[in-house]
Structure 1
Amino acid sequence: MKKINNKKISIILTAVIFFGCALCGCQTAPKEIPDDLTAAQLIQRGQDAAANYNYVAANAYYVACIERYQADLKCYIEARYEIAQLNYKQRKYDIAKAMYQEILDTFDDPSAVYQLQPKYKKLAQIGLDKIKAIEDKKQQEAEKKAAKKAAKEKTKKTADEE
């Protein structure tokens, strides 16, 4: 049996603790979001947090934007899109899909269209298309797996009959 070097164990444990703390530490929501931030500042802080994989903080900034500027449809759609993106990045496809669809539905309202930036319609559609591609791929894999299983069972049944 090999003797494990205490120095190696110490290095490995330090690395594990460091990365564990980094992962836990970056998933904290801001204790307080200043009341004087504009919608653009809230969105920017959310994007900065998301870029650092702090999805909890990013979500908090986007929700604050929605709550504070709910009368501004442009801000609402931008923040909802960013939240949809957070969910997509976390592979919460059902939530992201519903949010992308909500954004697209908003563009169907003639009274709202003039308030919105067209890029969010396109971006939401791209998000939906990506999710559909993922779902289609999963469906194809499931069908292949089922076909493979059926073929295996058929081969086994034929072998048993002989």
Structure 2
Amino acid sequence: MKHGIAVLSALLIMVFISSCISVPAPEDIPEDLSPMEYFQRAQEAVAQRNDYETALVYYQTFKERHPEDLQGNVEADYEIAFLHYKKGEYAASKAMFNEIIARYETEQASRLKEWPLILSRKVLAKIEAAEISIGVE
């Protein structure tokens, strides 16, 4: 019985602590982060806390502060689209994956790494297959 109460207490403390973690505002994110640090902090938020909202803020802030970084922006857009997919926001993720794919049909495509295109197509195919199976068009 004591063991069960200890486990329950520990779970309640973890829930309380995780609920106290707040999503940073863009202005709270240091201006001097390197592009890699935005991505690293976003990925840590997801990997360590399943904190998709914080990750979204980091990716979006990167995009706002580094609009000239073509590759970084396509990678951030992929990560944002994938987070929407993980959250079950399929319409938003589908639209973003289609936008990413469209970028590879422009003259800038030769300057982009292929992985965002390949992965966008794969996840988009999963979304579309799920839509077909449930009768969504």
Answer yes or no: same fold by TM over 0.5. Answer: yes
Contact 1:30 1:57 in 2 (8 A): yes
Contact 1:50 1:86 in 2 (8 A): no
User: 5+ unaligned residues in a row in structure 2: which ranges?
Assistant: none
User: What is the distance in 2 between the residues matched to 1:139 and 1:8?
Assistant: 49
SS of the equivalent of 1:87 reads helix
Contact 1:74 1:117 in 2 (8 A): yes
* Offset of residue 44 of structure 1: 1.4
Q: CA offsets per residue over residues 67-93 of structure 1, 9 Å max, x none?
A: 111111111100010001110110000
Work out whether 1:108 is the aligned partner of 2:105.
yes
Q: Do the aligned partners of residues 134 and 34 (structure 1) sit closer, same or farther apart at CA in structure 2, a change above 3 Å counting?
A: same
Could you tell me which residue of structure 2 aligns to residue 48 of structure 1?
A: 44
User: 5+ unaligned residues in a row in structure 1: which ranges?
Assistant: 141-162
User: What is the distance in 2 between the residues matched to 1:72 and 1:17?
Assistant: 43
User: What is the distance in 2 between the residues matched to 1:125 and 1:45?
Assistant: 26
User: What is the distance in 2 between the residues matched to 1:117 and 1:67?
Assistant: 21
User: What is the distance in 2 between the residues matched to 1:108 and 1:67?
Assistant: 23
Could you tell me which residue of structure 2 aligns to residue 74 of structure 1?
A: 71
Superposition RMSD in Å: 2.3
* Offset of residue 17 of structure 1: 3.1
Alignment of 1:11-90 (within 5 A): 14=9, 17-18=12-13, 20-26=15-21, 28-30=22-24, 32-52=28-48, 53-90=50-87
Could you tell which deviates more after superposition, 111-120 or 122-131? 111-120
Could you tell me which residue of structure 2 aligns to residue 119 of structure 1?
A: 115
Q: CA offsets per residue over residues 107-158 of structure 1, 9 Å max, x none?
A: 010x211221111110100110111122122229xxxxxxxxxxxxxxxxxx
Q: Counterpart amino acid of 2:121?
A: Q
Contact 1:78 1:120 in 2 (8 A): yes
Alignment of 1:125-144 (within 5 A): 125-139=121-135
* Offset of residue 13 of structure 1: 6.4
Q: Which of structures 1 and 2 has the larger relative contact order (alpha carbons within 8 angstroms, sep 6+)? A: 2
What percent of counterpart residues are identical?
Answer: 32
Aligned length: 133
User: What is the distance in 2 between the residues matched to 1:35 and 1:14?
Assistant: 39
Q: CA offsets per residue over residues 90-113 of structure 1, 9 Å max, x none?
A: 00000000010000001010x211
TM-score normalized with structure 2 length: 0.83
